[in-house]
Amino acid sequence: MSKKNIASVDVSGKRVLIRVDFNVPVEDGKITDDRRIREALPTIQSVLSRGGKAILISHMGRPEGVGFEPEFSLKLAADRLAQILGKPVAFPSNDCTDAGAAAAVAAAKPGDVVLLENLRFHKAEKKGDPAFAAKLALYGDVYVNDAFGTCHRPDASMVAVPKAMAGKPRVCGFLVEKEIKFLAAAIAKPARPFVVVLGGAKVSDKMGAIEHLMPLADTILVGGAMAYTFLAAQGKNVGTSRVEKDRIADAKKIIDMDKKMKVEVLFPVDHVCSTQFEEKSGDIEVFDDEIKDGFMGLDIGPKTQTKFAIILQKAKTIVWNGPMGVFEWAPFATGTQQVGKAIARATAAGATTIVGGGDSAAAAEKFGIADQLSHVSTGGGASLEMLEGKKFESVDLLDQA
């Protein structure tokens, strides 16, 4: 999966169409986490420093796709990018394909940055429409995919645009290159022991990753609500914990696979539980092994935290996807925090550690360990699909190195 990157292209005087991922969270009219914008800077600055014109396209949120919706405008992202770069960012109009957008691109000079409005104001973006893509393709002499969070999607800007730009350079940005390096290359030949930590709410979300990683990993640690489907499949009492009854058979299949492979799959041995799915109400108790009726598991218990931490500190490669409990609520945050800290300690000891975006990345940020890990992915869904071993057409279309 070795692809040419933006550094390999002469961009002087050229319009470089960069598909970025500026789908940042916004609350009360303010960006609450600008990490995706900051992660795009190396690619943008590489173009600007070499005399290129950076033409940026992105989506944000889930608009209806029938025109401009102010709450999904990329104007906040344009302002934030301008602040970080210390230079103006042109943001021409309410539509990425109208005359105003085309005029802004045509007027751009070497070293300029233009960010066009939300691609998803057009239904054609999600549909992968070639006619829509052809309009966007006119904006660039070079195509760059630096939107890892959308790499698994067949959207027009990800697939149809590079197809429309066949014959022109089509390369990856530094962010996508880094994501591929960690999520594909590091896992293909991991330093051992290789430990996978999986959590989150649903077994169904992680089945593909579990099946793909089982033959590769030495140990898989399972926490979060998904653990209770596995424990129920083993006949254990899990109280009122969340169980995907339609996935019990899948859970039993994984447990049986564990017996036939070298990999060891471990589940929580104790649980922090409550009588209510609430942060500040309900009776909280810790149970060993089986959970009392009327209680639900909302975090891994202290024995499990210690057990998992001991395994993690010996690891040389770690992939973490999914929290160990409801980490957003203080009474149930300790399991995720302790696992995160154990992974950070392993990183300091020389392990390669990869966090698969989404809630895991949010937890790493919340507990102040994101910068202590080897790589925190910017794409939750994309990182999970890559951990499942899936191929991305958006990446396959890029020029081979």
What are the helix (H) ranges across 214-290? 226-233, 248-260
Average pLDDT score over residue span 291-304: 97
Written in H, E and C, the secondary structure of 65-108 is: CECCCHHHCCHHHHHHHHHHHCCCCECCCCCCCCHHHHHHHHHC
Tokens found for residue 62: 């889930």
pLDDT band at 1 (very low <50, low <70, confident <90, very high): low
Burial of 349 (0-12, 13-18, 19+ CB in 10 A): exposed
List the catalytic residue out of 123, 126, 202, 341.
Answer: 202
Tokens found for residue 279: 């942060």
> What are the residue boundaries of the structural domains of the chain, listed by start?
6-175, 182-387
Using alpha carbons, select from 45, 264, 40 the residue that is nearest to residue 146: 40
What's the pLDDT score for residue 159?
98
- By mean pLDDT, which of 65-74, 229-238, 311-320, 374-383 is the weakest? 374-383
Q: Compute φ and ψ for 171, nearest 5 degrees.
A: -130, 170
pLDDT band at 203 (very low <50, low <70, confident <90, very high): confident
Collapse the DSSP code of 233 into the 3-class scheme (helix H, G, I; strand E, B; otherwise coil) and give the result: helix
CA dihedral of 272, 277, 283, 285, whole degrees rounded to 10:
-10
Q: How far is CA 269 from the centre of its chain?
A: 29
What's the pLDDT score for residue 302?
98
pLDDT digits (tens, 9 = 90+) for 121-152: 999 999 999 999 999 999 999 999 999 999 99
Tokens found for residue 302: 């202290």
DSSP-derived secondary structure letter, 185: I
CB atoms within 10 A of CB 283: 10
Residue 378 has pLDDT above 90, yes or no: no
pLDDT digits (tens, 9 = 90+) for 153-167: 999 999 999 999 999
The answer to whether 77 touches 60, Cβ cutoff 8 Å, is yes
CB proximity list for 271: less than 8 A, separation 6 or greater: 241, 286, 287, 291, 297, 298, 299, 300, 301, 304
List the catalytic residue out of 36, 50, 80, 135.
Answer: 36
What's the pLDDT score for residue 290?
93
pLDDT digits (tens, 9 = 90+) for 309-341: 999 999 999 999 999 999 999 999 999 999 999
Distance linking the first and last C-alpha atoms of the chain: 9
Collapse the DSSP code of 7 into the 3-class scheme (helix H, G, I; strand E, B; otherwise coil) and give the result: helix
Residue 70 has pLDDT above 80, yes or no: yes
CATH 3.40.50.1260: does it fit domain 182-387? yes
Percentage of the chain modeled with pLDDT above 70: 100
pLDDT digits (tens, 9 = 90+) for 349-373: 999 999 986 889 999 999 999 999 9
Give dist(CA 101, CA 103) in Å, integer.
Answer: 5
List the catalytic residue out of 223, 358, 379, 380.
Answer: 358
Give dist(CA 351, CA 194) in Å, integer.
Answer: 9
Indicate if 202 belongs to the active site. yes
Q: How far is CA 229 from the centre of its chain?
A: 24
Indicate if 67 belongs to the active site. no
Indicate if 307 belongs to the active site. no
pLDDT digits (tens, 9 = 90+) for 95-117: 999 999 999 999 999 999 999 99
Indicate if 316 belongs to the active site. no
The answer to whether 176 touches 151, Cβ cutoff 8 Å, is yes
Collapse the DSSP code of 326 into the 3-class scheme (helix H, G, I; strand E, B; otherwise coil) and give the result: coil
What's the pLDDT score for residue 115?
98
Question: Which CATH architecture fits 6-175?
Answer: 3-Layer(aba) Sandwich (3.40)
* Residue the block writes with tokens 């994984």: 254
| 6-175 shares its CATH topology with 182-387 | yes
What's the pLDDT score for residue 133?
98
